[in-house]
Structure 1
Amino acid sequence: MAEKIFSNKNNLQILFEDNHIIIVNKRAGDIVQGDKTGDKPLSEVVKSYIKDKYNKPGNVYLGVVHRLDRPTTGLVIFAKTSKVLPRLNALFVSKDIAKTYWAIVKNEPPKIADSLIHWLKKNQKNNKSSAFIKEVKDSKKAILHYKLVQKLDNYFLLEVNLETGRHHQIRSQLSSIGCPIKGDLKYGFDRSNPDGSIHLHARHITFTHPVKNETISITAPLPDDAIWNACNT
Structure 2
Amino acid sequence: MKKISNKKNLQVLFEDNHIVVINKRAGDIVQGDKTGDTPLSDIVKDYLKEKYNKPGNVYLGVVHRLDRPTTGIVLFARTSKALPRLNKLFASKEANKTYWALVKNKPPHTQDTLTHWMVRNSKQNKSYAHHNEVPDSKKAVLHYKVIKELENYYLLEIDLETGRHHQIRSQLSAIGCPIKGDLKYGFNRSNPDASIHLHARKLSFVHPVKKEPVSIIAPLPNDPLWQACN
* Alpha-carbon distance in structure 1 between the residues aligned to 2:75 and 2:12: 10
Q: Which runs of 5+ in 1 are unaligned?
A: 1-6
In the alignment, which residue of structure 1 is the partner of 2:144?
Answer: 146
Q: Deviations over 1:41-86 (max 9, x none)?
A: 0000000000000100000000000000000000000000011100
Aligned mate of 2:66, from 61, 65, 68: 68
Q: Secondary structure in 2 aligned to 1:227?
A: helix
Asked if residue 93 in structure 1 is aligned to residue 91 in structure 2, the reply is yes
Give 1:10 deviation, angstroms. 2.5
In the alignment, which residue of structure 1 is the partner of 2:115?
Answer: 117
* Alpha-carbon distance in structure 1 between the residues aligned to 2:6 and 2:52: 17
* TM-score, length-scaled by structure 2: 0.97
- What is the correspondence of 1:38-53 to structure 2 with a 5 Å cutoff? 38-53=36-51
Aligned mate of 1:201, from 196, 199, 206: 199
- Corresponding residue pairs, total: 226
Residues 118 and 63 of structure 1, relative CA distance in 2, 3 Å threshold: same
Asked if residue 106 in structure 1 is aligned to residue 104 in structure 2, the reply is yes
Residues 140 and 9 of structure 1, relative CA distance in 2, 3 Å threshold: closer
Residues 94 and 122 of structure 1, relative CA distance in 2, 3 Å threshold: same
Residues 49 and 70 of structure 1, relative CA distance in 2, 3 Å threshold: same
Q: Which runs of 5+ in 2 are unaligned?
A: none
CA RMSD of aligned residues (A): 1.0
In the alignment, which residue of structure 2 is the partner of 1:172?
Answer: 170
* Alpha-carbon distance in structure 2 between the residues aligned to 1:8 and 1:140: 36
Letter matched to residue 62 of structure 2: V
Give 1:206 deviation, angstroms. 0.6
* Alpha-carbon distance in structure 1 between the residues aligned to 2:88 and 2:81: 12
* Alpha-carbon distance in structure 1 between the residues aligned to 2:64 and 2:93: 13
More off after superposition, 8-17 vs 83-92: 8-17
* Alpha-carbon distance in structure 2 between the residues aligned to 1:41 and 1:8: 10
* Alpha-carbon distance in structure 2 between the residues aligned to 1:40 and 1:10: 14
Runs (4+) of structure 1 exceeding 2 A deviation are 7-10
In the alignment, which residue of structure 2 is the partner of 1:182?
Answer: 180
In the alignment, which residue of structure 2 is the partner of 1:24?
Answer: 22
Q: Secondary structure in 2 aligned to 1:203?
A: strand
* Alpha-carbon distance in structure 2 between the residues aligned to 1:196 and 1:13: 20
Aligned mate of 1:133, from 127, 131, 134: 131
In the alignment, which residue of structure 2 is the partner of 1:4?
Answer: none
Letter matched to residue 84 of structure 2: P
Verify the 8 A CA contact 1:100 1:160 in the aligned structure 2.
yes
In the alignment, which residue of structure 2 is the partner of 1:3?
Answer: none
Verify the 8 A CA contact 1:73 1:200 in the aligned structure 2.
yes
Percentage of matched positions with identical amino acids: 73
Q: Secondary structure in 2 aligned to 1:165?
A: coil
Give 1:8 deviation, angstroms. 7.6
